[in-house]
């Protein structure tokens, strides 16, 4: 191939110049969008937080429907906890297994801050956040532990990292535990050019412009809304767990096959330290070990679950002001297959039984 000719050179130079301009311009747009909109509050931290808006909505309407994945649930909890004037006696932290526990169920003023896919670090971060807020005077705390939360590779990195501001040890723990960083939230310099941050930034604009559609998810059909959601009097809606999609049962079962099932001593130790800390603040902790469905129990080799349970009980029973209720084993708490939404989430009847089984 002949590369040289004066005309070609001119055209090549123009091509290179245009290429470089496009590249610099594109990156500048991303830089500015991420910096100004700042969806994770790393840079300007002023513009707009969708989660803050959601927290206001929840405080105002008491009940709102949220499309999963459309918001950062950790961030949402942070705003809600700070803004809410509600005075609970009890808070609940933990994963989705404890999300269903309500004030009516326990006949007390409670604030349920459980998060789907919670890690032990989430629990520590949220508990610390609540304790640091002056308006909360908590005497009791329930920690909902699912069978995989304390296992070796339980991790929800991106969500967990959103709490970095409240829980400064996030980076350190991730490094020790998983050998990883908090994605873009750690590196402010390269993060500013992150496409995932840009996606969030664009999302912020859309949410800012169309936030009035929040209340009822706008991306579902009327039929689906009627079938799967409970519509509240004020027009907001909540997901109706009675109509859990059957497919989700299969999905859930398979989701955890790759997990390393054995308990992480490091995570268990973190939980113990947290409970000790709570105890020093005169808070009684109830650890709730959430049962899994009999079908999942029979499918999985359950020896490791029993072993894990024994380890948790042995470790935490020595901590002051601590009660341990429930079991991963559905038979141990007399829960039948019908008392589960899916393979990992017990219904209230089963939760009630589990919370009456005292291990220590």
Partner 1 sequence: MPVVFAGFFLISIKNHQRGIAWLGFASFFFYGYLNIYALPIIGLSILVNYWFSKQLYKPANKNRQLLLFSIVINLLALGYFKYANFFIANTNTLRSLIGMNSIEYLNIALPIGISFYTFSQIAFLIDTYQGKVKELNFLNYILFVTFFPHLLAGPILHYKQIMPQFLDPKNFSIDSEKIKLGIIIFTIGLAKKLLIADALGDYANFLFDQHEDDLTPTFLTAWIGSITYTFQLYFDFSGYSDMAVGLSLFFGILIPFNFNSPFKSTSIIDFWQKWHISLTKYVNEYLYTPITLKFMRFGQEKPQPIETIYSLIVPTMVVFLILGLWHGASWNFVIFGAMHGLFIVINHLWRKFFPNFNKACKQKQPYKITKKVGFWALTFISVNLSFVMFRAKDIATAMNIYKGMFDVETAFNFSEMTINTNQLNLQILLLITICFILVIYMPNTSELTFKNQLAKKKFSIKGSAGAIIIGLLFSACVLMLKNNNLFLYYKF
Nearest approach, Cβ of residue 280 and partner 1 (Å): 39
Does residue 266 belong to the site contacting partner 1 (CB under 8 A)? no
Q: In sequence order, which ranges of 193-260 are alpha helices (DSSP H)?
A: 195-210, 222-228, 246-255
Q: Does 260 bind partner 1 (CB under 8 A)?
A: no
Could you give the string, one character per residue 28-67, with x where binding to partner 1 holds by CB under 8 A and - elsewhere?
--x-------------------------------------
CB of 18 to partner 1, least distance (A): 4
| Region from 15-23, 122-130, 159-167, 307-315 binding partner 1, contact rule CB under 8 A | 15-23
188-227: which residues touch partner 1 (CB under 8 A)? 193-195, 198
Pairing of strands 140-145, 284-289: parallel
Closest CA to 290 of 338, 241, 348: 348
Q: Does 4 bind partner 1 (CB under 8 A)?
A: yes
CB atoms under 10 Å from CB of 25, counted, come to 10
Cα–Cα distance, 293 to 229 (Å, whole number): 24
Residue 268 CA, distance from chain mean position: 19
Contact status, residue 177 vs residue 270, Cβ threshold 8 Å: no
d(CA 146, CA 150) in angstroms, rounded, equals: 8
Pairing assessment for the beta strands 229-231 and 237-239 based on DSSP bridges: antiparallel
254 contributes a contact to partner 1 by CB under 8 A: yes
| Alpha carbons 317 and 313: distance in angstroms, whole number | 6
Q: Which of 102, 139, 213, 251 binds partner 1 (CB under 8 A)?
A: 251
Instruction: Tell me the window of 99-107, 162-170, 243-251, 349-357 that interacts with partner 1 (CB under 8 A).
Output: 243-251
> Applying CB under 8 A, which part among 109-117, 171-179, 254-262, 351-359 lies near partner 1?
254-262
Site of interaction with partner 1 (CB under 8 A): 1, 3-4, 8-9, 12-23, 26-27, 30, 193-195, 198, 247, 250-251, 254-255, 257-258
């Amino acid at each position: 191939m002949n590369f040289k000719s004066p005309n070609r050179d001119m055209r090549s130079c123009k091509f290179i110049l245009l290429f470089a301009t496009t590249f610099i311009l594109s990156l500048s747009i991303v830089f500015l969008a991420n910096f100004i909109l700042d969806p994770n509050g790393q840079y300007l931290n002023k513009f707009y937080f969708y989660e803050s808006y959601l927290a206001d909505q929840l405080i105002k309407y008491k009940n709102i429907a949220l499309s999963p994945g459309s918001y950062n649930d950790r961030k949402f909890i942070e705003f809600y906890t700070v803004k809410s004037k509600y005075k609970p006696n009890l808070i609940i932290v933990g994963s989705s297994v404890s999300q269903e526990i309500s004030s009516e169920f326990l006949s007390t003023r409670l604030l349920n801050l459980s998060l789907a896919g919670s890690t032990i670090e989430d629990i520590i971060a949220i508990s610390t956040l609540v304790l640091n807020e002056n308006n909360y005077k908590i005497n009791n705390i329930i920690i909902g532990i699912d069978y995989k939360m304390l296992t070796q590779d339980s991790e929800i990195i991106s969500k967990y990292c959103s709490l970095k501001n409240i829980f400064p040890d996030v980076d350190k723990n991730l490094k020790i535990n998983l050998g990883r960083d908090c994605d873009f939230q750690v590196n402010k310099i390269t993060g500013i050019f992150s496409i995932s941050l840009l996606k969030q930034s664009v999302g912020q604009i859309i949410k800012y412009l169309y936030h009035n559609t929040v209340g009822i998810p706008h991306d579902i059909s009327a039929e689906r809304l009627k079938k799967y959601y409970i519509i509240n009097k004020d027009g907001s809606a909540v997901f109706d767990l009675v109509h859990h999609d059957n497919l989700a049962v299969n999905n859930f079962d398979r989701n955890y096959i790759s997990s390393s099932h054995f308990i992480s001593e490091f995570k268990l130790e973190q939980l113990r330290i947290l409970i000790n800390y709570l105890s020093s603040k005169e808070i009684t902790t109830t650890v709730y070990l959430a049962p899994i469905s009999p079908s999942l129990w029979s499918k999985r080799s359950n020896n490791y679950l029993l072993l894990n349970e024994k380890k948790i009980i042995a470790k935490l029973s020595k901590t002051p002001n601590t009660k341990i209720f429930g079991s991963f084993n559905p038979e141990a708490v007399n829960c039948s297959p019908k008392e589960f939404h899916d393979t990992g989430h017990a219904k209230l009847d089963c939760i009630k039984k589990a919370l009456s089984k005292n291990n220590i």
